[in-house]
Amino acid sequence: MFSYRHAFHAANHADVIKHATVVQVLDYFNQKEAPYWVIDTHAGAGIYDLTDEWASKNSEHESGLDRLLGAKPPPMIARYLETIEQFNPDGEARFYPGSPWLALSLLRPKDRLRLFELHPTEFRNLGLNIASLASEDQKKIQTYERDGFAGLKALLPPPTRRAVTLIDPSYEDKSDYRKTLLCLQEALKRFPTGCYLIWYPLVQRREATEMVRALERLHDVNWLNASLTVHRPSRDGLGLHGSGIFIVNPPWTLQKSLKNTLPWLAETLAQDKFATFTLRSNEAQKQASKGAQKRSPSGK
């Protein structure tokens, strides 16, 4: 249950698509004066040293973040890299901010950050990292050493009536797929106007495919679903060949940003010729459905 450590995977291709999207969403929320919350159900340690033994074990950043450095990226990726540069003033990409630290760098004095983390070591490291922050940043944060799936509902709706919630489990336990779907469904009942970002892995697992299909069947909500495949699925059925980010109630600007970004990411992060991307939305499905109805001889 407690085997997963995000430092093993910090700054990999999955973090790139996930965190670039997080930055875009928060930039959009900052366009309005009203305060908001950011809630992270699986916060991790907050920030990672890419030179330490955990991150160096697999050096996954070499096939993720490192491939973006020195390139001429589209605006969405340029903005993402700009936020990371804030944590590396010497110009060397050593420290990688996880979702909590990316959010904290974008939050204004009136906004708040709520972090769940159940892994005891990760929670301890999260606390140590928070303790090193300036007092004005510490005041924005509240942490919970508990299961984010179960704890989220107690925070919804937030008093601000504006929030971005990231649901980002490791999915090492296959029950996480079902828990993620149920967590989102419960959250939408309590706070239907919230913005929710669900990261998911592209793996050869029935539960993963079924969860994405179930997400795309959600009714009465707007959603975007972006995925990035970096290499062909392995013959043994193991490993991560890509990942996706499913956004409920996305900013209206996000689809265009992703459309302009995903082709470049697929090319830049490709590990073989099978690298590709997808971008779907329920608006596109609605238009396709209307088109099919118009073509129907019966008009039904």
Mean pLDDT of the chain: 91
- Residue 228 belongs to domain spanning: 13-291
pLDDT (0 to 100) of residue 57: 58
Known catalytic residues?
168
Q: How confident is the model at residue 3 (pLDDT cuts 50, 70, 90)?
A: very low
pLDDT, average across residues 1-16: 72
| Rounded distance between C-alpha atoms, residue 300 and residue 296, angstroms | 6
Q: How confident is the model at residue 117 (pLDDT cuts 50, 70, 90)?
A: very high
* pLDDT reading at 288 higher than 80: no
pLDDT (0 to 100) of residue 298: 47
The answer to whether the beta carbons of residues 35 and 237 sit under 8 Å apart is no
Whether 299 is in a domain gets the answer no
Whether 283 is in a domain gets the answer yes
* pLDDT reading at 119 higher than 80: yes
pLDDT (0 to 100) of residue 295: 53
- Domain containing 105 — which CATH number? 3.40.50.150
What is the model's pTM? 0.92
DSSP 195: E
Element (DSSP H or E) covering residue 39: strand 37-40
The answer to whether the beta carbons of residues 13 and 66 sit under 8 Å apart is no
| Rounded distance between C-alpha atoms, residue 98 and residue 54, angstroms | 15
C-alpha of 13 from chain center: 12
Q: What percent of the chain shows pLDDT beyond 90? A: 80
The answer to whether the beta carbons of residues 122 and 5 sit under 8 Å apart is yes
pLDDT, average across residues 247-261: 98
pLDDT (0 to 100) of residue 4: 45
Q: What is the pLDDT of residues 81-106, one digit of tens each?
A: 999 999 998 888 899 999 999 999 99
pLDDT (0 to 100) of residue 236: 84
pLDDT (0 to 100) of residue 237: 75
Strands 223-229 and 276-281: antiparallel
pLDDT (0 to 100) of residue 289: 53
Q: What is the pLDDT of residues 197-248, one digit of tens each?
A: 999 999 999 999 999 999 999 988 999 999 999 999 988 878 899 999 999 9
Q: What is the pLDDT of residues 121-169, one digit of tens each?
A: 999 999 999 999 999 999 999 999 999 999 999 999 999 999 999 999 9
DSSP 186: H
**Which residue, among 157, 178, 135, 166, has the nearest Cα to 246 in the 3D structure?**
166
DSSP 249: S
Binding site as annotated, residues: 19, 42, 99, 117, 147-148, 168
| Rounded distance between C-alpha atoms, residue 196 and residue 235, angstroms | 33
Question: How crowded is residue 70: how many other Cβ atoms within 10 Å of its Cβ?
Answer: 7
Whether 8 is in a domain gets the answer no
Whether 224 is in a domain gets the answer yes
| Rounded distance between C-alpha atoms, residue 145 and residue 4, angstroms | 16
DSSP 8: G
| Rounded distance between C-alpha atoms, residue 128 and residue 126, angstroms | 5
Give 219 or 249, the one with higher predicted confidence: 249
Per the structure, how many domains does the chain have? Answer: 1
Binding site as annotated, residues for S-adenosyl-L-methionine: 19, 42, 99, 117, 147-148, 168
Element (DSSP H or E) covering residue 289: helix 282-295
| Rounded distance between C-alpha atoms, residue 195 and residue 30, angstroms | 14
Whether 300 is in a domain gets the answer no
The answer to whether the beta carbons of residues 265 and 16 sit under 8 Å apart is yes
| Rounded distance between C-alpha atoms, residue 243 and residue 168, angstroms | 12
Whether 2 is in a domain gets the answer no
